[in-house]
A and B are shown apart, each in its own frame.
Chain A
Amino acid sequence: MNHSMPDGSPYVPKWAEISRIEKLTESEKLFELRLSNGQPLGHKPGQFVEVSVLGIGEAPISISSPPINDNSFELAVRKVGNVTNAMHNLGVGGKLGIRGPFGTNFPIDEAKGKDILFVAGGIGLVPLRSFIKFVLENRKDYGEVTVLFGARNPSEQLFLSELEQWRGRKDISYLETVDRADENWKGNVGVITTLFPKVQVDPAKTICVVVGPPVMYRFVIMETKAKGIPDKQIFLSLERRMKCGLGKCGHCQINNIYVCQDGPVLRYSDIFALEEAL
């Protein structure tokens, strides 16, 4: 048997310290983290990490920030399972185990010089934010930028101060909707596809990046098709159960692909025929 033995266990996490916590909604918090070794995480927008809370377990969490100069990175986390509930109980100075970054990234290079249509549904904005912010920081590298964001109701909107900035920016079009309005909501009401008629795109030069709950994809894809955006210019980020992050444990498998390695960011033209992808 010929193989190279890796230097150590890929299951050993690095330590990261929580430097800031921001409450985003009733069930979501933003954690700013720094690796204890002082090194940058070394991620690209769209990748994820396996987060450990010792004694509780590990969970795959997408990275919500673009690479930042001060070596911090952000995870926005909904408390929904064992690990994320435990994370929500931690305070500033608390330590988390980090493995990764893992997986594929959003098409930061391929989209250069092209128009970008971002489509975020609910906490799909969490991973997509890493790419949106990356594009805004390197604004001149990209063409027209459109951000569509849909939430179930106004209280579930994330990153409120950033949304406020986006609303005011002249160099992007930001459109938002909620499925159900409250008395203060003055904007669009309806699912995210109701924003598409308001958007003009040049399909040949548009890269479309979609992240949202599983049910959202097929309806958004119908809209992108209607706009004539070619399948190979559409990118999705898929959620799956993951344990190892190394393409071994089998949980994230969709037909021939392992989402932890071949994804989470996948080109629609590569997966539309996969039976269990969407």
Chain B
Amino acid sequence: MELKKIDKPDLGLFLQNLIKDFQVEGVKRKGQSVYGQSFFYGSINAPDELCLDFDCTTMPPKKYFIPPKEELLKFTIAPKPEVAEVIESKPLIIFGVHPYDLKAVNQMDKIFSEGNPDPNYLKRREGILLIGVDPTKVSPRSFWNSMEAASVSSGFDLMLTDIGESYLVEVGTDKGGNLLKKYAKVSSVTKEEEQKRIDVRSKIWNMCKKRALNFPMRELPSLLVNSLNSPLWDEKASKCLSCVTCNMVCPTCYCFDVWDDVELDLTHGQRYRRWDGCLASDFAKVATGENFRETRAARYRHRFLRKGQYLFSKLNDAACVGCGRCAAYCLPDIADPVDVFNRLKEAVK
């Protein structure tokens, strides 16, 4: 493992240099909301716009990998029908991604490269460099420590940890190493500083233990299989607005709809995909009117099963990283996985 140090005053310089050559997207501070101070990913045009002491952004960085609306084809309807593929990619640095969101990106990488590889995702992904950062704060609804998402061993090009007067930087890839060489003023790391990174990390991991599953995350698939008929699904879903917020803010929700848009001249158009969510009432509805998950409870249960069982078998891991965004932004506050999973566990004891 290659570990370097950037003194805090020099981080701005690093960022300034990156901005000259790259589009840099990073975490920015937004105003206070009913949820408290909020943070979001946006373009960083000056070093002081970047905020690295955030607890959790409102939206995960998935918009950079899977745009909310992504063109797949351009087409001409008349006089002669023609289509042209659209596969877009541009170099991008995302600065300030917490480990749980990196874990989600790793899962998306796997999902979009396996089976039928998805060139739109993969091409876009190739252009993206990820600079991770260890959290210094824990959002009130986060439980990533329970979901084995407190740290990741790969998926970042660089990984920063705030150890006080400086950031330690772990080099994850050659591309990341080259960025440091070319754009940053770094120094070597002492044994004490290395130890400090371990201490800082365990401190923040401990802070995330306040909200936790009461059982090992690896038990989720069997727990869920045994909870198919739990009354909890109906109880929770009776308040569900089918608004899909939980899907939208989730870093591991990647379902999409495919749609055609026609220009006003009626001869040209685009086919695009856009985020969709399994909580939407028509998600499984076909043209004849048959709806294969007609009730809110069926849709609500599907999401938890998908996270904790269906995708588990594909990923050998839960497709929930414990960011807590679904819990934070669900208006009727029924989406909290900690509450759902712990109550299911309680019920089967």
Contact = CB atoms under 8 A, between A and B. Distances in A.
Given A56-B260, A246-B115, A84 B287 contact: yes
> Which size bracket describes the interface of A in this complex?
35 or more
A4 B286 contact: no
B72 A248 contact: no
B293 to A, nearest CB: 7
Given A9-B85, A56-B260, A58-B258, A3 B228 contact: no
A71 to B, nearest CB: 20
A55 B85 CA distance: 15
A54 B116 contact: no
Interface string B72-86: 110111000101111
A117 B283 CA distance: 34
B75 A3 contact: no
B77 A55 contact: yes
B83 A97 contact: yes
A241 B83 contact: no
Interface of A: 1-6, 8-13, 15, 54-59, 80-82, 84, 95, 97, 213-214, 239-241, 243-244, 246-251, 253-256, 261, 275-276
22 contacts: A3-B117, A3-B122, A8-B85, A11-B85, A11-B120, A12-B73, A12-B83, A55-B262, A214-B292, A239-B286, A240-B286, A241-B283, A244-B256, A244-B258, A244-B273, A248-B115, A248-B116, A249-B257, A249-B276, A250-B256, A251-B257, A256-B309
A7 to B, nearest CB: 8
B119 A9 contact: yes
Contacts of B120: 9, 11
Nearest to B121: A248
B83 A255 contact: no
Interface in B247-288: 254-260, 262, 266, 269, 271, 273, 276, 278, 283-288
Interface stretch (B51-59, B106-114, B145-153, B210-218): B106-114
Contact of B256 (A6, A239, A249): A249
A54 B260 contact: yes
B313 interface: yes
Interface residues of B, number: 56
A275 B290 contact: no
A95 to B, nearest CB: 5
B119 A249 contact: no
A69 B83 CA distance: 28
A54 B81 contact: yes
Given A1-B109, A55-B260, A241-B283, A246 B292 contact: no
Contacts of A4: 117
A255 B119 CA distance: 26
- Majority-rule SS of A interface residues: loop
Q: Which interface residue of B118, B120, B302 has the most chain A CB atoms within 10 A?
A: B118
Interface in B147-174: none
B46 interface: no
B255 A250 contact: yes
Interface string B126-146: 000000000000000000000
A55 B269 contact: yes
Given A239-B286, A250-B278, A54 B292 contact: no
A39 B200 CA distance: 63
A12 B85 contact: yes
Contacts of A6: 116-117, 119
Given A243-B256, A247-B115, A276 B122 contact: no
Contact of B116 (A1, A8, A84, A246): A246
Nearest to B288: A80
Contacts of A11: 72-73, 85, 120, 258, 271
Nearest to B105: A1
Given A250-B278, A253-B306, A95 B81 contact: yes
A253 B255 CA distance: 11
Contacts of B122: 3, 5
A80 B298 contact: no
A275 to B, nearest CB: 6
Contact of A241 (B85, B111, B285, B310): B285
B117 A57 contact: no
B287 A255 contact: no
Nearest to B86: A9
A92 to B, nearest CB: 16
Given A54-B269, A57-B258, A240-B284, A253 B310 contact: yes
